[in-house]
Structure 1
Amino acid sequence: MGDNTDARAASTPESEDPALAVPADESADRSGRSASPRRPESGPPPAEERDETSVSSPSVPWLLVGLALVLGLAATTRFLESFVPETTAGTTFGGFAEAVEYPVYAILIGLLANGLLSLTGLRDRLAGAFRTEFFIKTGLVLLGSTVLFDVIVRAAGPAVLQALLLVTSVFLFTWWIGGRFGLDSRLRALLSSAVSICGVSAAIAAAGAVQAKREQLAYTASLVIVFAVPSIFLLPWLVQLIGLNTAQAGAWIGGNIDTTAAVAASGAIVGEEALQIASIVKATQNVLMGVVAVALTAYFAYRVAPAGGSARPGLGALWERFPKFVLGFLLASVIATVWANVTGDSGEAGLDTAKALRDWFLIAAFTSIGLEFKLSSLREAGWRPIGVFALATVFNLLVGLALAAILFRNFAF
């Protein structure tokens, strides 16, 4: 939901990553079937491509303005988080306001700012500062400092088992249903990886492994975001409706929502302990991204396109795809555990500082989710990829719920 590359970059079809290029006859149209050949590599790009390139490499002044905007929206979120419950206390709205956590404010404020910036034509100029992946990775590393290592050790067993069963079953189901819908094999690989592992980052890793067309990656990234945003609010509501305990809720959220940022947002809505379990479960699934990427590379190199010049898979690809921030999360947890044992109560201030920094980075990430959200790129996807993604998401929710309920039923903090 490890996210190795900025979701914003992934959703830009004009990205010039050569690993994502495929021969003309391997192109896919809106429904995953054959389409027109790629533009020749030589010659100047069209005007719209030049504009996208300029967006992906923003000037320093616009970058600074964008970062100031994200920081200002994060500060507004912090203000509303305390102001709204205080001003509505004792009213009929007070109980609801007290239950609303900062991810809700951050995402809604981000969406509102997104609309205003789009109307004024400033959004694309500032987009370089909307670094959801950077903010969420940094926040999750800091989250490790608030999760004692013994919790990770106790949660590791059921988390690994859930990840193996869930990723395998959801990937195979999505691959199968994608074939039934007649999607191109490369698009099937992207959708299967995105739904089963960690959204955009898994799709990016799969795209490099199978040499997917850039537009296919854009379609998949857009679908991930469109489905992840409502899940942030839907799953906490379903957790209350079904009556899951805190650990089961975190495991279900971590195993089902496709992006790490959205997992953190949804887990934070349920509570601190649910956020911890959700992050551990999602991090466990993220580790499998490298395994899936290597397997896809081997499958496409030897079975789908053996004569296409694809590089033969090697063990080095496993480390290349491995989400490095997971190591930072574990290291921060070890350091915090040692710090707490050595300093006792006198070390609480240091841990509180790490928690405050974590919250700021997570708020910036949730705000960026709203700022980055784009519905327009789905217009070209057609209904087949959307149908496959929707069916796979429902399957993921049902299997994930069963696994979380069984594997984490007796987990205690």
Structure 2
Amino acid sequence: MNEKTTSTQAVEPATDTAPTPAGRQSAAWTILGVAVLLGLGYVVHFLTEWVPAATKGTGFGAIAKSIEFPVYAILVGFAANAILSLLGVRKKMSKAFRTEFLIKTGLVLLGASINFTVIAKAALPAIAQAVLLITAVFLFTWWFSGLLGLDDRLRALLSSAISICGVSAAVAAAGAVQAKKEQLAYTASLVIVFAVPMIFLLPWASELLGLSPAVTGAWIGGNIDTTAAVTAAGTMAGEQPLQIATIVKVTQNALLGVVAVLLTMYFTFKAQREAGDTSSPKLVTMWQSFPKFVLGFLIASVVATVFASNADPAAAASAIGVANDLRTWFLILAFVSIGLEFSFGSLKEAGWKPVLVFAVATVVNLAVGLLLAVVLWNGFSF
């Protein structure tokens, strides 16, 4: 009996909680990946500031100062992707490229820059324009992309990006519908390709059409897909158009959470139907599908508004500035990560259809946006 017991005890495996060599190697590659990501982020930050300064006064200078950091971030990410893949180390570092975490953190910080007291300055026309324009353009883009047979998740990203606020809306939609990173990268690239020409086109077209400052600002704010590009175009149009453009764009940004909730509800219903479940979605299921960062986004906006209205103006501006700087850094790292994780084969897989959808929907967006701007803002006085 003792021999059996001894023998049994002898073959019991020893408990070893020390990391295995493979685990230590994986951790080392992850740490190296973080270092690479931070280094690339610094390169992007450097290029964003250096290129406009270096090209100032040249033919390219006017364009360079309007190019946003996502352009540099994705391009730098793509280049690093190719180099690291050739060296055979990209997949080993992949745990460091936390695109989803970085993007969601950046979006929560984005909420801190949306002050609801600003929206109140022109609440009725801004809200009416945002709701009508987002609804019309989203539904058209959803319908047209469905007509071309695009995947529902890519349809959601394209529709959100065009109708709301470009990259940020695509990011929020991606979280809500659990889209592929390749789909997000493709949509973000289209946003940038189409937004940059609009910076110059809309101020010029507004002057050609003889639009009032308020109508010009509303058209710019409602139709250019990214906040930074709206600011650039508004600045080119003048101080008053810039004020209205900012208010309209902030109003659209504030509707990000609403659209994310509606998309979550739609995809939850759809998933249950495909599973043969005809019952109403359970609250638990809805909560599990709901992108929690949207709540953080909304809470940050409310906190920033309350803080700004009660704190010393200089202190409030400084705090919001810090939040905006952090947001920029998180989004820089997020878009570098997208480039690092991007599968170049997805471009062939996506084909020409998303480009056609974006082009046609942009034309519709411009037409509907101009109509709403004239109707809602023509009698507005500063």
TM-score bucket (shorter structure): 0.5 to 0.7
SS at match of 2:32: helix
Distance 1:123 1:248, change over 3 A: farther
* 2:331 paired residue among 351, 362, 380: 362
Is the aligned partner of 1:287 residue 2:255? Answer: no
Do the aligned partners of 2:113 and 2:301 also contact (CA within 8 Å) in 1?
A: no
Question: How large is the RMSD of aligned CA atoms in angstroms?
Answer: 4.3
**Which amino acid in the other structure matches residue 249 of structure 1?**
I
Is 1:334 matched with 2:305?
yes
Distance apart, 1:281 and its partner CA:
1.1
Is 1:227 aligned to residue 190 of structure 2? yes
Equivalent position of 2:47 in the other structure = 80
**Residue in 2 aligned with 1:115?**
82
Q: Distance in 2 between matches of 1:317 and 1:400?
A: 36
CA–CA distance in structure 1, aligned partners of residues 71 and 249 of structure 2: 17
Residue by residue over 1:125-166, the C-alpha shift from the partner in whole angstroms, topping out at 9 and shown as x without a partner, is 334433444334433433444444311444664554345434
Q: Equivalent residue for 1:130?
A: 97
Matched residue SS, 2:312? helix
Aligned residue among 314, 318, 330 for 1:345: 314
Report the Cα distance in structure 2 between the residues aligned to 1:405 and 1:384, rounded to whole angstroms: 32
Unmatched 5+ stretches in structure 1: 1-57, 208-213, 258-262
Is the 8 Å Cα contact of residues 142 and 355 (structure 1) preserved in structure 2? yes
Name the residue aligned to 1:165: 132
Specify the SS of the correspondent of 2:277: coil
**Helix, strand or coil at the partner of 1:79:** helix
Secondary structure in 2 matching 1:312: coil
Alpha-carbon distance change, 120 to 408 in structure 1, aligned in 2, over 3 angstroms: farther
1:294 and 1:317 in contact (8 A); partners too: no
- Tell me how far 1:172 sits from its aligned partner: 3.8
Q: Take 2:190 and 2:143, find their aligned partners in 1: how far apart are those partners?
A: 20
Q: CA contact under 8 A between 1:135 and 1:362: conserved in structure 2?
A: yes
User: For 1:192 and 1:99, how far apart are their aligned partners in 2?
Assistant: 28
Name the CA distance, whole Å, in 2 between partners of 1:173 and 1:139: 29
Q: How far apart in 2 are the matches of 1:100 and 1:280?
A: 23
TM-score normalised by L of structure 2: 0.65
Distance 1:226 1:289 in 2: 21
Structure 1 residue 289 displacement after superposition: 2.7
Residue 117 (structure 2) pairs with residue 150 (structure 1): yes
1:284 CA drift (Å): 0.3
Shifted more, 63-72 versus 242-251: the winner is: 242-251
In the superposition, the TM-score normalised over structure 1's length comes to 0.61
Q: Deviations 1:151-196 (Å, cap 9, x if unpaired)?
A: 1444664554345434443454345445654x4xxx6643443333
Deviation at 1:75, TM superposition (A): 1.9
- Per-residue CA deviation, residues 33-70 of structure 1 (Å, 9 max, x unaligned), is xxxxxxxxxxxxxxxxxxxxxxxxx9433333333223
Q: Supply the distance in 2 between the matched residues of 1:296 and 1:113 (Cα, whole angstroms).
A: 34
**1:309: Cα distance to partner?**
3.1
Q: How do 1:13-412 residues align onto structure 2 when only pairs under 5 Å count?
A: 59-88=26-55, 97-98=64-65, 100-154=67-121, 157-158=124-125, 160-174=127-141, 176-177=143-144, 180-181=147-148, 183=149, 189-197=152-160, 198-199=169-170, 201-202=172-173, 205-206=176-177, 221=184, 223-243=186-206, 245-246=216-217, 248-253=219-224, 257=225, 263-264=226-227, 266-267=229-230, 270=233, 278=249, 280-295=251-266, 297-298=268-269, 308-309=276-277, 312-314=280-282, 320-321=289-290, 323-338=294-309, 341-345=310-314, 348-381=317-350, 391-392=360-361, 394-396=363-365, 398-400=367-369, 402-403=371-372, 407=376
Q: 1:77 to 1:174 in 2, by over 3 A?
A: closer
Q: Unaligned regions of 5+ residues in structure 2, if any?
A: 1-24, 161-168, 207-214, 236-241
Give the Å deviation of 1:116. Answer: 2.6
Distance of 2:182 and 2:327 partners within structure 1: 31
What is the aligned length? 331
Map of 2:166 onto structure 1: none
